[in-house]
Amino acid sequence: MTQGFGDRDTIYEDIDVLEADVGKYKPTDLPEREEELDKIHMALRPVTMDGSPRDILVYGPTGQGKTAGVQLKSEQLQEWANQEGVQLEVIHLPCKGADRSYHVLTRLVKELREVRKGQGVDEPSGYQRKRLFEMVLDELETIGGTVIIILDEIDAIGEDDYILYELSRANPDDVKIGIIGITNDLQFRNNLDADVRSSLGQREITFNPYNANHLQNILARRTAQALRDTHFEDGDEDFTHLKSDVLEDGTIPLTASLAAQETGDARQAIELLSYACDLADDEGVGMVGERHVRAAKEEIEREALIDTIGAETTQRKIALLTVVSAELNGATGETTALHQLYSDLCEYIDANELKQHTFREKLNDLVHSNVLSKDRHGRGRGQGMSNMYTLAGDVNPDSVLDALEDDSRVGHIVEVIGS
Ligand SMILES: Nc1ncnc2c1ncn2[C@@H]1O[C@H](COP(=O)(O)OP(=O)(O)OP(=O)(O)O)[C@@H](O)[C@H]1O
């Protein structure tokens, strides 16, 4: 019988604090980003002097606190404005999924209209972008005061930087506007139109990757709020002052070092620890240890792999299956041998069979997705070179088979290969 909800004691005091999504939990303090926050502060401060905020471009790899930092500073400014009775609106516009300036403009019109009319306004459709931009200006002038527009993940617009160009030159009446662009795409930043760069990029704030110490302290602060019997001693909120009855000593250091080894991404570190805590809580052991962190890492990687493979085409899935099969049977991963096996599998499931050179392209696509590794090696004296394909270092063959099993056609042959 499965356990009932609420049957068991929990290690959590406030489980949502271990949510990595900035929409679900907002840290009130980012001490690792003091310098960067000071720069954002400096760019926003003119608002307190009845001046215009400076435009800024916030740049840095993923999970470095860019959004959290910009949100924190803009909320502080909003608090000041509310206290002082100053008219200030902060619009946070996630641009993910908006593949052109056009889509960002329609979203922006909607958001600005919602400032006046409340939630539920539709995005305008069927207008030219020039007209949409005029709508943006009209709305800004109607709102008045100061409007700060945060364009998060602005790289989504690709090479079409029309909106940034127009916004950075706009001079609407009776309203001061400030643009904060956030991106983790270095190429996007470098490709911006020269005028846009000289405006937005003049105040560029870079968030460099966290190291393991930073991540330990970030995780310590999160756990002190999220877990029971976990708190700081002597008033210092860093890892060395953390005391916990539910965390083994090595749990946070291991989580931080695994995340630091990869990209220094705080989101990844928080997600890993949160998963480890869930595993321990589910087991009902009352203590989160290194084994939970390792198990969580394996599970997160397995899920990511299943997503990657699930999104592949049938032909790539069959190609992948040939490599797994070769590995499980101790056979060679050389292209010709794999192609022979591929032909048999295609016949078995009645799939269209590709010639060897096209089949090799499918294998190379899988190398690009980091599912396979490729090695060139000599066939023997005077016989030229050949490619050898294997599963990439951290890819587990059983997880690959699990992922392939979900495919309605390829799934039929997985059983045969795996047995
Ligand atoms: N210094 C910090 N202290 C506490 N939490 C942090 C810190 N830096 C980042 N975080 C947390 O890490 C997660 C990711 O942060 P955030 O979304 O701000 O990163 P980002 O740089 O904007 O990433 P992306 O480019 O992927 O959007 C969030 O949960 C955030 O609260």
pLDDT score for 280? 96
CA 21–ligand 1 middle distance (angstroms): 8
247: β partners: 288
Residue 10 within a domain:
no
Q: Which two tokens stand for residue 120?
A: 């539920």
Residue 40 within a domain:
yes
Same domain, 202 and 216: no
Q: pLDDT-derived band of residue 92, with 50, 70 and 90 as boundaries?
A: very high
Residue 278 within a domain:
yes
Residue 402, domain CATH:
1.10.10.10
CA 40–ligand 1 middle distance (angstroms): 16
Same domain, 214 and 238: yes
- Stretch 300-314: mean pLDDT: 88
Same domain, 60 and 168: yes
CA 67–ligand 1 middle distance (angstroms): 6
Residue 167 within a domain:
yes
64 lines ligand 1 (CB under 6 A): yes
Residue 120 within a domain:
yes
Shortest-distance Cα residue to atom 28 of ligand 1: 20
Q: pLDDT-derived band of residue 202, with 50, 70 and 90 as boundaries?
A: confident
- pLDDT tens figures, 3-48: 666 666 899 999 999 999 988 899 999 999 999 999 999 999 999 9
- ipTM higher than threshold 0.85: yes
Residue 246, domain CATH:
1.10.8.60
66 lines ligand 1 (CB under 6 A): yes
Residue 4 within a domain:
no
Last residue of a domain, one of 253, 284, 307: 307
Same domain, 131 and 171: yes
For residue 341, the enclosing domain spans 312-418
Among 95-104, 165-174, 284-293, the range of highest mean pLDDT: 284-293
Same domain, 322 and 303: no
Q: What percent of the chain is predicted at pLDDT more than 70?
A: 95
Distance CA 26, CA 64 (A): 14
- Stretch 219-243: mean pLDDT: 95
pLDDT score for 2? 64
Same domain, 67 and 200: yes
Shortest-distance Cα residue to atom 13 of ligand 1: 267
Known binder of ligand: residue 210? yes
Known binder of ligand: residue 59? no
CA 285–ligand 1 middle distance (angstroms): 30
How high does pLDDT run on average in the chain?
A: 91
Same domain, 37 and 177: yes
Shortest-distance Cα residue to atom 7 of ligand 1: 65
pLDDT score for 88? 97
Query: E strand or H helix at 175, and its extent?
Result: strand 175-183
Of the two residues 314 and 416, the one the predictor is more confident about is 314
Q: How open is the CA angle 205-240-208, to the nearest 5 degrees?
A: 15
Shortest-distance Cα residue to atom 23 of ligand 1: 63
pLDDT score for 5? 67
Same domain, 252 and 176: no
Q: pLDDT-derived band of residue 173, with 50, 70 and 90 as boundaries?
A: confident
Q: Which two tokens stand for residue 214?
A: 């930073």
Atom of ligand 1 minimally distant from the CA of 26: 31
Whether the per-residue pLDDT at 418 is higher than 60: the answer is: no
Last residue of a domain, one of 181, 206, 231: 206
Whether the per-residue pLDDT at 207 is higher than 80: the answer is: yes
Shortest-distance Cα residue to atom 3 of ligand 1: 30
Last residue of a domain, one of 251, 281, 307: 307
pLDDT score for 9? 83
Out of 38, 64, 74, mutate this one to test ligand 1's pocket (max ligand atoms within 8 Å of CB): namely 64
- Stretch 64-89: mean pLDDT: 97
Shortest-distance Cα residue to atom 2 of ligand 1: 30
> Number of structural domains, the chain?
3
Same domain, 152 and 77: yes
Same domain, 248 and 328: no
Residue 46, domain CATH:
3.40.50.300
- Stretch 54-65: mean pLDDT: 94
Same domain, 35 and 70: yes
Q: pLDDT-derived band of residue 382, with 50, 70 and 90 as boundaries?
A: low
Residue 12 within a domain:
no
Same domain, 196 and 218: no
Residue 341 within a domain:
yes
pLDDT score for 381? 66
Atom of ligand 1 minimally distant from the CA of 217: 3
Whether the per-residue pLDDT at 203 is higher than 90: the answer is: no
